[in-house]
A and B are shown apart, each in its own frame.
Chain A
Amino acid sequence: MYSDQELVAKTLKGHKSAFDELVERYAKKVYNLSLRMTRDPADAEDLTQEVFLRAYRSLNTYNPAYSFVNWILKIASNLCIDHLRRKGDVRDDSDELLSLEVQKTHPDPESAALYSEQVSEIEKALMSLPPKYQLVMLLLYAEDLKYEQIAEILDEPIGTVKTKIHRARKILKERFFSEREKDTKKA
């Protein structure tokens, strides 16, 4: 089995099937991340396609000394944030806003209601975080990455990543347990 770097080299020599192999290896990761960020399967599909097209077009800029999966997730992260920004979902990430606001990611109330029924409490809490914090948490949990990898993907110092994780967890904890307490009281 070829390594990612070997497949990149083969693609650069003109073997398109080598890139197909890279798509097969990492489409799931990219699609999952996009789906969690956008909460819309059609958007996630479009984003996944765009991520790989961009990767293909700029493959000659990829440095084989670094991990290919981190590189592709970096493209995916940037595109997801850009996508949400275009849709008006990205807000200020200041502490104050982070702890006060609940994010509105579903402009359409019907789809929001439907989604709300389908997702778990933890997902609802996650949805309430600003996208940059959601992204860090998804990279940590859904993609199962280490702090160092997340720092590489986000191009941020490890300290910043740790701070984001700490803040996000704190908010998630508060929201998650306060919802549960409400439910317990109702019951």
Chain B
Amino acid sequence: MKANEQATSRCDYTRLLLDDYVDGNLAPLVEREVKSHLVSCSSCAEEAERLKKISDELSRLGTTTTDEVLLVVKKVQKAVRKDGRWCKKRRLKIAGAVAASIAALLLWSTYFRPGPVSFEINGKDIAFHAMGKTVVVDASRLPGDLTVIGGDVYVTGEIEGNVTSIDGRIVAKVEDGSVLSRVKRALIEIWQRIWR
């Protein structure tokens, strides 16, 4: 290899390392090699000098004043407090869990009360559709008095006779036209479907 070619290849090698050299990322041994080449090669030394100048200029880029930043900090903190979306999400999750627990408890207490249940119409035992310990009575199929023993009764229509619940509850006479009664009836129907 001629002297010129050797020098060029050494220059190429050095220039590949100049960025890391300027940033101080070279291993000590390699850094010494680069330094020694820069001493003997004015072209590479000039290139290194220019890169260093750029780095120095960039490092001197001004930063904002403390007052400016304080103002920004206050605004950001205020915005975060006002937003609080993460907290809201968390609160919503908790509220949802509590509501679901209450609903489950109510459902359980309504339909799964312990104890035997029997019911009769006009004194005769009749098989009605029963969900757990709750009897659902469609008024169109109720010709006379209804007696339920040991369970709750849900009546979903007009009744000719009396409804009596012994050791249980008359949960609702549904068809009074109110929104609540309609909701109750809808819930009962959903529950019936699940139960079947």
> Which residues of chain A have a CB within 8 Å of any CB of chain B?
14, 16, 19-20, 23-24, 27-28, 31-32, 35-36, 41, 45, 48-49, 52-53, 56-57, 59-60, 120-123, 126, 137, 140-142, 147, 162, 165-166, 169, 172-173, 176-177
A137 contacts which chain B residues (CB < 8 A)? 58
Contact status A126-B68, CB under 8 Å:
no
Contact status B73-A173, CB under 8 Å:
no
Q: How far is the CA of A14 from the CA of B86 in the complex (A)?
A: 9
> Which residues of chain B have a CB within 8 Å of any CB of chain A?
19-20, 23, 25, 50-51, 53-55, 57-59, 61, 63-64, 68-69, 72-73, 75-77, 79-81, 83-87, 90
Contact status A28-B25, CB under 8 Å:
no
A31-B68, A36-B61, A141-B61 known; A60 and B86 CB under 8 Å? yes
Shortest distance from the beta carbon of B11 to any chain A beta carbon, whole Å: 16
In chain A, what residue has the closest Cβ to B75?
Answer: A49
A16-B81, A28-B64, A57-B85 known; A172 and B54 CB under 8 Å? yes
A53-B83, A122-B54 known; A142 and B63 CB under 8 Å? yes
Q: Which of A32, A35, A52 is the one whose CB lies under 8 Å from B79?
A: A52
B72 contacts which chain A residues (CB < 8 A)? 27, 31, 45, 48-49
B55 contacts which chain A residues (CB < 8 A)? 141, 169
Contact status A19-B57, CB under 8 Å:
no
In chain A, what residue has the closest Cβ to B88?
Answer: A57
Q: How far is the CA of A141 from the CA of B86 in the complex (A)?
A: 34
Q: How far is the CA of A92 from the CA of B8 in the complex (A)?
A: 34
Q: Which of A20, A32, A122 is the one whose CB lies under 8 Å from B64?
A: A32
In chain B, what residue has the closest Cβ to A166?
Answer: B19
A60 contacts which chain B residues (CB < 8 A)? 86
Name the prevailing secondary structure of the B interface residues: helix
B75 contacts which chain A residues (CB < 8 A)? 45, 49
Q: How far is the CA of A123 from the CA of B60 in the complex (A)?
A: 10
Shortest distance from the beta carbon of B7 to any chain A beta carbon, whole Å: 22
Q: How far is the CA of A14 from the CA of B87 in the complex (A)?
A: 7
B20 contacts which chain A residues (CB < 8 A)? 162
Q: How far is the CA of A33 from the CA of B85 in the complex (A)?
A: 26
In chain A, what residue has the closest Cβ to B22?
Answer: A169
B63 contacts which chain A residues (CB < 8 A)? 28, 32, 142
A23-B80, A45-B72, A166-B19 known; A123 and B61 CB under 8 Å? yes
Shortest distance from the beta carbon of B68 to any chain A beta carbon, whole Å: 7
Q: How far is the CA of A19 from the CA of B83 in the complex (A)?
A: 13
Contact status A23-B81, CB under 8 Å:
no
A177 contacts which chain B residues (CB < 8 A)? 50
B85 contacts which chain A residues (CB < 8 A)? 56-57
A126-B58, A141-B58, A141-B61 known; A173 and B51 CB under 8 Å? yes
15 A-B contact pairs sorted by A residue (CB < 8 Å) = A31-B64, A45-B75, A49-B75, A49-B76, A53-B83, A57-B83, A57-B86, A140-B23, A140-B58, A141-B58, A162-B20, A169-B19, A172-B54, A176-B54, A176-B57
Q: Which of B53, B68, B80, B90 is the one whose CB lies under 8 Å from A16?
A: B80
